[in-house]
Amino acid sequence: MDKDANSVIAEFMGLPDRVQSWLRTHGHRDVDVYAFIKAHRAAALMQDLGNTDKHGRLDKRPYSGLKPKLTNVKRVAKFQTQARRGSWIQYQMGPGGQPIVSGDGKASLVLTGDVLDENGQKLGELDAIIEQALSEWEAFLGSNGLS
């Protein structure tokens, strides 16, 4: 697996223990972090990807109910204009490979890849799943007093 993708997935995989510890320390003993993960698809997929990477395969029932795998990891340029007529973006490579971005839009380099189920069916793009998992975790943390 790509080392950057591995690092991101490993950070998600470590969240449950860190969050559970924080919740217990702050009197939230009845909160089940793993129930949250099972109930949220993107968080569950990230946990399953981490378990697959750590153990080589999923021996127990996956949180997502699927056996996801990450393939075709790559970095892509992402360009986004503003949601208004006349918005624009221009991207050039300057001297020494430095990017030059003009206009009122945004340009970024994104780590992505295909997340597939055990039958090879595409479940989504890694970057979109990461964004959704972050939103799910932020909502969970906020609802439990950690912001």
Amino acid at 34: Y
> Looking at residue 56, what is its pLDDT?
81
pTM equals: 0.84
> Looking at residue 116, what is its pLDDT?
97
- The DSSP secondary-structure symbol of 48 reads H
pLDDT < 50 regions, the chain: none
Amino acid at 1: M
> Looking at residue 57, what is its pLDDT?
78
> Looking at residue 30, what is its pLDDT?
77
Question: How many domains is the chain built from?
Answer: 1
> Looking at residue 1, what is its pLDDT?
63
How many of the other CB atoms lie within 10 Å of CB of 66? 19
Rounded distance between C-alpha atoms, residue 49 and residue 68, angstroms: 6
Digit-coded pLDDT (tens) for 21-33: 988 888 887 788 9
Rounded distance between C-alpha atoms, residue 131 and residue 133, angstroms: 6
* Host domain of residue 117: 3-143
> Looking at residue 60, what is its pLDDT?
82
Element (H, E) at 115: strand 106-116
Rounded distance between C-alpha atoms, residue 134 and residue 146, angstroms: 14
